[in-house]
Amino acid sequence: MKVLICDPTDPKALETIAEAGIEVVDRSDITAEELLEEIPEYHCMVVRSRTKVRKPVIDKAENLKAIVRAGVGLDNIDVDYAKSKGVDVLNTPSASTRAVAELTTGYLLALARHLPQMTASMKAGKWEKKQFKGIELFGKTLGIIGPGRIGLAVAEMAQALGMNILSYYYKEKKVEGIEFVPLDELFARSDFISLHVPHKDSTHNIVNAESFEKMKDGAYIINCGRGGTIDEDALYDAIEAGKVAGAALDVYAEEPSKGHKLYTLDEVIGSPHVGAGTSEAKARVGEVAAQKVIGALS
């Protein structure tokens, strides 16, 4: 049995797979064209968010038994088509929960106290003490769109900071300490809004121009979930108009996102899709992914 590693994966995970008697080929820099040529000889592939596993790849993968996504989102894989071809699609949904939740919580604090902007000001040799008046998170309301593993972890951290938690979910759900409300009510009552939903037809631009109109003046937006769930042009307009006080983004409709007009705004802070980018999370993701590969090929 052979497994193709298409994206950077923890070396210990590769050792674990090899120790199980599976041949490991590490092609973490493989191009889309090379993947089409080489995939027929493999029985399993491990991908992160960079590699796209679409219909042409699946059609070429005549020996493929499983696709393992070392991470949470499956939007880079044609899941239904793969399954129709008898290919299992597996992911590691819980391994990076803590890392993404902590980044989201960090962004809550960074937005409230203008931490990146103050750092830039200090590095520019300025002492702008009065220009960066912040707000406290205690007593503020956080609206969470999508209370899955990560959303619930964020809620727990925010509650420790004294925040009130609202959440919207498209299925009936009850969680102690969280008030579940319709989406429009969440927009109207939240001081901060954080997205933790997958990107699919039902969540595409779930936050859009109409959503911003329904929000409090001076609300803040955080997206460490999936790109494509916020209308980025509408977000730009809402910040320019003063409706939204600031935004923190780790994910984007198109990635890599370079030179995006949102980053011409001082009110926007962000990162290049690094939510799961901690050494601990990468090790956990690799460990779980290794076990998924071994289980799929055993």
Q: Which residues are the active-site residues?
A: 226, 255, 273
Q: What is the CATH number of the domain that holds 24?
A: 3.40.50.720
Q: Are residues 168 and 80 in the same domain?
A: no
Q: 165 vs 79, 174, 177, 178, CA distance in Å? A: 33, 13, 7, 5
Residue 34 has pLDDT above 80, yes or no: yes
pLDDT at 174: 77
User: For residue 44, which amino acid is it?
Assistant: C
Q: Are residues 9 and 85 in the same domain?
A: yes
Domain tally, the chain: 2
Q: Are residues 197 and 116 in the same domain?
A: yes
Q: Are residues 107 and 133 in the same domain?
A: yes
Report residue 55: phi and psi, to 5°. Answer: -50, -45
| Tens-place pLDDT, residues 195-225 | 999 898 999 999 999 999 999 999 999 999 9
DSSP state of 206: S
Q: Are residues 175 and 63 in the same domain?
A: no
Q: Are residues 80 and 110 in the same domain?
A: no
Q: Are residues 53 and 108 in the same domain?
A: no
Q: Are residues 14 and 47 in the same domain?
A: yes
Q: Is the peptide bond between 198 and the residue preceding it cis, with omega within 30 degrees of 0?
A: no
Q: Are residues 89 and 112 in the same domain?
A: no
- Helices (H) and strands (E) counted in the chain, each on its own, are 11, 12
| Tens-place pLDDT, residues 162-186 | 999 999 976 667 788 999 999 999 9
Q: Are residues 284 and 266 in the same domain?
A: no
Report residue 121: phi and psi, to 5°. Answer: -65, -45
Q: Are residues 115 and 180 in the same domain?
A: yes
Domain containing residue 153: 97-270
User: For residue 88, which amino acid is it?
Assistant: D
| Tens-place pLDDT, residues 104-161 | 999 999 999 999 999 999 999 999 999 999 999 999 999 999 999 999 999 999 999 9
With beta carbons less than 8 A apart as the criterion, state whether 129 and 121 touch.
Answer: no
Report the C-alpha gap between 242 and 260 in whole angstroms.
Answer: 19
Identify any residues that bridge with 220 across adjacent strands, giving them in sequence order: 192, 246
| Tens-place pLDDT, residues 127-140 | 999 999 999 999 99
Q: Are residues 159 and 169 in the same domain?
A: yes
